[in-house]
């Protein structure tokens, strides 16, 4: 029997700092708790259940003319005064002007504060997924998957700060983000909302996002409450289709999927949204284990839990674990749901009141839920300042924010192939631009942009560049030919594109996906659509060099055309500045520095992640992705040397400091993401071949050497053992950066 070092769950899940359960209660928090207790004592059952009820903005609409939304005063009073609702969400179908948002929020708060007995303000929530994407004129950043590719924590923090500032400026204090699901099923339509397939990267980036958005004081006019989602295991449906079942062994759940949420709890997130689907046949909305025992008991979460859209209702209409609404509401509330995103009516409110009166849900559970909701409202300062501040409108869409956005898009660009140094292109080259993602803004942004699906091109700001427009602006219209050759679904003029290729020096073929979000983005085949593949094949027959630009929310399989392209650049979903960023990289104004945050599959099945097991890469069973996790080329050459660790042996409580030197041996300035991996060579549970344990992005000028520093902590060596608890076993560990490696030993514990 192997001798083990035992690791506490809190230590294993730690990224930085102590757990929520270990933090001392500040004087400010104690004061808020006292206010909450007093307010709960004053409330009736109806007022408490109302606070647990969240309706969508559409339930209160009077008119929507030319994008300007007005609310019906009587519908508002029915919801806020008669039914005591505590929260409203959503955008009413599309983004609104900052002024329209402030007017609507002020109208809601006027009713809540002045026309209700206790004057409890409304907590308004919205999905500011990649910027304040439902505020017209706001800064719309690259989607999270692109931010992960950029590998720059400072950029994640800055984008989060700007998003919080622009969201709060219009009067909205609650953001349903970050998405902490892991992109380990590439068919899933919400891959682009994640920080990639790796738990460490998602943990670090998610925690940075939360700290930046919430800061140390949620009452500030540039901060918002965050909502970690979708807890838990939502992103790996067996079918690949949204909101369908996942089957995850507990060990794998704890090894991968729990970690980003544990990091978010430690970062201080104050709310949590629940996975719409199920794990191993148990809908998460119905599970006391996931929502109470694990989330609150083990992870120490002390905020409140909100359902996802209509998901309490779905327990009986779709999942069939409850026979009717009454049983579903009881099941969800007793499992740990504090607020129901109903979202259209008062069915949850009426049903829960009946359950409490009939003694099926104890008042103590209601008080617990309401206390969490009120605590967040007090932390946000809504009781003192419920109304939007008109002086903040100028914070939306500032030029300084646009520059950060452009930098984020530029740093996300990932060069996958560059045969014979095809890129960068000279500005005097004659270029054919074609493909369905070449001349649309919607495809650069994807879902959660102006509308839910992000596909209404007419609503996009026309001053922003598509890829085609950015290339024209870069090298002049006379050097650019455009042919609208195919859509995503059908051929239009491939022959015209082939003919036009005769008169150019190079072809830029922009392919990928249309805008989509959630279930409407489900697909049956991960392979790139046939018209797009055919376009590239026929263009390749001309003999002209092809530069493929991939604009897509998930890695679509392009195996059959990879050899036809001399260069391949993936842009992911790079946001409003994405067209400019693509052109900047294509013509050498920016050196690409992104690295793949997922394993890019070669085939449309048999998905394997970078942290696979040894048996998944043998002579008989090759690990053979199109491109590996962490892949990304540069316009310069970079070399690694002098990897060192300050200790060769490690015991509990120790930290190992690792350094490596990175030298730019070329003639182009570069940004390089240096990644550190750890391999446990022998373990009682089959180990991953390697796991990411650190990354740093550094600037390296030509001829310059940068020393990059990492720290490995004891819990970095831990894994979930056979008893589903974290352990560190004595033995050998390999620490690697690039092609370099050093060994680290964990000795057997002494008795």
Phi, psi for 231 (deg, rounded to 5) = -75, 110
Q: How far apart are CA 294 and CA 287, in angstroms?
A: 10
Tokens of residue 8, six digits:
């506490």
- Please answer whether residues 626 and 558 qualify as being in contact, where contact means their C-beta atoms are separated by less than 8 angstroms: yes
Q: How far apart are CA 180 and CA 203, in angstroms?
A: 8
Nearest Cα residue to 205 out of 249, 157, 277: 157
Angle 40-46-50 from CA coordinates, rounded to 5°: 85
Inter-CA distances, 66 with 96, 172, 459, Å: 10, 22, 11
> Which residues, in sequence order, are CB contacts of 24 under 8 Å at separation 6+?
none
Report helix, strand or coil for 415: strand
Burial 322-335 (b: 16+ CB within 10 A, else e): beebbbbbbbbbbb
Inter-CA distances, 439 with 432, 469, 491, 522, Å: 13, 7, 16, 24
Tell me the torsion sign for CA atoms 519, 524, 529, 530.
negative
Q: Check 127, 198, 308, 715 and give the catalytic one.
A: 308
Inter-CA distances, 641 with 182, 697, 736, Å: 32, 17, 11
Taking each helix axis from N to C end, the angle separating 153-169 and 399-412, rounded to the nearest 10 degrees, works out to 140
Inter-CA distances, 434 with 351, 585, 608, Å: 56, 18, 32
Report helix, strand or coil for 609: coil
> Which residues, in sequence order, are CB contacts of 150 under 8 Å at separation 6+?
142, 408, 411, 412, 593, 594, 697
Question: 200: which DSSP letter?
Answer: H
> Which residues, in sequence order, are CB contacts of 583 under 8 Å at separation 6+?
465, 467, 470, 471, 473, 474, 589
How crowded is residue 347: how many other Cβ atoms within 10 Å of its Cβ?
A: 15
308 is catalytic: yes
Taking each helix axis from N to C end, the angle separating 363-379 and 27-42, rounded to the nearest 10 degrees, works out to 130
- Residue 411, H or E segment: helix 399-412
Give the pairing of strands 731-737 and 670-680. Answer: antiparallel
Q: How far apart are CA 11 and CA 496, in angstroms?
A: 62
State the first-to-last Cα distance of the chain, in angstroms, to the nearest integer: 15
Q: How far apart are CA 116 and CA 122, in angstroms?
A: 11
- Residue 501, H or E segment: helix 494-501
Tokens of residue 557, six digits:
């399989």
Q: How far apart are CA 302 and CA 666, in angstroms?
A: 51
Give the active site residues.
Answer: 308
């Amino acid at each position: 029997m192997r001798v083990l070092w035992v690791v506490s769950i809190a230590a294993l899940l730690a990224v930085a700092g102590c757990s929520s359960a270990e933090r001392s209660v500040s004087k400010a928090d104690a004061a808020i708790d006292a206010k909450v207790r007093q307010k709960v004592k004053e409330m009736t059952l109806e007022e408490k259940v109302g606070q647990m009820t969240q309706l969508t903005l559409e339930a209160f609409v009077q008119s929507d003319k030319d994008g300007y939304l007005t609310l019906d005063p009587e519908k508002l009073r029915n919801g806020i005064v008669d039914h005591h609702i505590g929260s409203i969400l959503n955008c009413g179908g599309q983004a609104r002007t900052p002024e329209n948002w402030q007017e609507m929020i002020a109208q809601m708060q006027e009713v809540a504060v002045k026309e209700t007995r206790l004057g409890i303000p409304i907590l308004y929530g919205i999905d500011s997924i990649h910027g304040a994407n439902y505020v017209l004129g706001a800064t719309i950043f690259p989607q999270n998957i692109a931010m992960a590719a950029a590998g720059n924590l400072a950029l994640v923090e800055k984008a989060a700060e700007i998003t919080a500032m622009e969201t709060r400026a219009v009067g909205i204090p609650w953001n349903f983000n970050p998405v902490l699901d892991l992109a380990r099923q590439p068919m899933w339509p919400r891959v682009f909302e994640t920080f990639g397939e790796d738990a460490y990267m998602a943990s670090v980036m998610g925690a940075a996002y939360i700290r930046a958005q919430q800061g140390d004081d949620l009452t500030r006019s540039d901060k918002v409450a965050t909502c970690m989602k979708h807890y838990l295991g939502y992103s790996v449906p067996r079918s690949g289709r949204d909101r369908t079942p996942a089957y995850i062994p507990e060990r794998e759940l704890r090894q991968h999927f729990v970690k980003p949420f544990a990091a978010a709890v430690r970062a201080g997130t104050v709310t949590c949204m629940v996975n719409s689907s199920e794990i191993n046949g148990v809908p998460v909305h119905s599970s006391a284990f996931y929502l109470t025992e694990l989330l609150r008991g083990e992870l120490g979460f002390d905020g409140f839990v909100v359902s996802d859209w209509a998901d309490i209702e779905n327990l009986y209409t779709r999942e069939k674990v409850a026979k009717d609404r009454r049983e579903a509401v009881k099941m969800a509330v007793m499992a740990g749901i504090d607020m129901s995103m109903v979202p259209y009516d008062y069915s949850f409110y009426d049903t829960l009141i009946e359950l409490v009166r009939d003694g099926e849900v104890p008042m103590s559970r209601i008080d617990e839920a309401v206390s969490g909701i009120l605590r967040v409202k007090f932390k946000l300062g809504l009781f003192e300042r419920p109304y939007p501040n008109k002086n903040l409108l100028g914070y939306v869409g500032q030029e300084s924010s646009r520059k950060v956005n452009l930098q984020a898009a530029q740093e996300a660009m990932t060069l996958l192939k560059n045969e014979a140094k095809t890129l960068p292109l000279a500005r005097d080259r004659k270029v054919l631009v074609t493909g369905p993602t070449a001349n649309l803004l919607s495809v650069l942004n994807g879902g959660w942009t102006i509308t839910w699906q992000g596909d209404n091109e007419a609503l996009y700001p026309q001053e922003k560049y598509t890829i085609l427009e950015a290339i024209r602006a870069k090298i002049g219209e006379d050097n650019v030919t455009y042919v609208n050759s195919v859509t995503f679904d059908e051929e239009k003029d491939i022959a015209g594109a082939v003919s036009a290729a005769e008169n150019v020096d190079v072809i830029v073929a922009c392919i990928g996906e249309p805008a989509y979000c959630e279930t409407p983005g489900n697909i049956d085949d991960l392979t790139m659509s046939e018209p797009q593949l055919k376009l590239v094949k026929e263009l390749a027959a001309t003999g002209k060099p092809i530069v493929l630009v991939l604009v897509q929310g998930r890695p679509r399989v392009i195996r059959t055309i990879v050899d036809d392209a001399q260069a391949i650049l993936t842009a992911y979903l790079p946001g409003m500045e994405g067209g400019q960023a693509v052109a900047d990289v294509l013509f050498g104004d920016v050196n690409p520095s992104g690295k793949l945050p997922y394993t890019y599959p070669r085939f449309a099945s048999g998905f394997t992640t970078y942290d696979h097991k040894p048996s998944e890469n043998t002579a008989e069973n090759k690990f053979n992705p199109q491109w590996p996790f962490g892949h990304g080329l540069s316009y310069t050459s970079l070399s690694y040397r002098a990897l060192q660790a300050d200790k060769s042996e490690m015991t509990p409580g120790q930290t190992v400091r690792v350094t490596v030197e990175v030298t730019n041996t070329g003639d182009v300035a570069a940004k390089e993401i240096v990644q550190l991996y750890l391999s446990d060579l022998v373990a009682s549970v089959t180990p991953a071949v390697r796991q990411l344990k650190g990354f740093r992005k550094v600037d390296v000028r030509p001829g310059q050497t940068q020393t990059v520093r990492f720290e490995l902590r004891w819990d970095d060596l831990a894994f979930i053992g056979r008893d589903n608890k974290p352990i560190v076993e004595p033995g050998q560990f390999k620490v690697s950066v690039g092609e370099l490696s050093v060994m680290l030993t964990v000795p057997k514990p002494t008795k």
